[in-house]
Amino acid sequence: MKKIKLHDKEFKLLVESAAIDLAITGLAQRLNSDLKDEQPLFLSVLNGSFMFTSDLLKQINIPGTEVSFIKIASYSGTCSSGTVRELIGFNKNIEGRTIVILEDMIDSGRSMAYLLDLLQARKPKKIYVTAMFYKPQALKCKIPVDYYALSLKNDFVVGRGLDYDDLGRNLPDLYILDNGEEKA
C-alpha cells in the first residue's frame, strides 16, 4: 500500500491517477456534448483546481471555450472553518454567458454557495457547478452540483491539487488520511 507523510500526518492511497483520469475523460465527454452550443466560460477556482482544469480543458473541444481563474479560500488544516474569504480580483463581464465553475472538491458547499451568490449578481445566462471530487454526505449548503468526476466519502484527502496545509497538491494520485485502522 502506497503511503506518504505530509507535515505530521500519514496518508494512504485512495484513488490511483489512472482512475481519476478516466473519470475526468468521462466528464469532458458529457460537457462536450451538453454544452456544445454554449461558448462556455470555464471559471477555475484556484489554488486547488489547477490540475483538474488542465486535465479537463485539454479534452474540451467546444467552439468558443474560454478559461479564467478566480480565487477564494475557506479552509485551513483538516477541518472546514466555515468562514469564506473574499473573491480576489475578478472583473470579467459574464452577463449572458454560460459559466462552468471548476472546483477541485465540494465539501460543505459553503465556498460554492458564496461564489454562486457573487456570480449570479453579475447576470450570467446559466452557471454549471462542476467538481473533480464531491462529498455528498458533507454538504451543508443547498447548492446544485451539476457535474462531478468522482464522489467520495466524508474523509479528508490530498493530492491532485488538494492540499494539507499547502503540501500534497502536486501528487497525481489521491490519498486519504491514514489513522492506522482499516475502514469497512
Q: Where in the sequence numbering do the catalytic residues fall? A: 107
Partner from Mg ion, ligand IMP, none contacting 15, C-beta within 5 to 8 A by type: none
Residue from 48, 109, 159, 168 binding Mg ion (CB under 5 A) = 48
Residue from 11, 42, 52, 75 binding ligand IMP (CB under 6 A) = 75
Q: What is the DSSP string of 60-101?
A: ---TT-EEEEEE---EETTEE-S---PPBS-----TT-EEEE
Options 12-20, 92-100, 109-117, 121-129: segment touching ligand IMP (CB under 6 A):
109-117
- CA-to-CA distance for 41 and 127, rounded, in angstroms? 10
Location of C-alpha cell 480565487:
71
Query: What residues pair up with 42 in beta bridges, in sequence order?
Result: 67, 100
- Interface characters, 130-159, with ligand IMP (x: CB under 6 A): --------------------------xxx-
- CA-to-CA distance for 49 and 5, rounded, in angstroms? 22
Least separation in angstroms between residue 61's CB and ligand IMP is 26
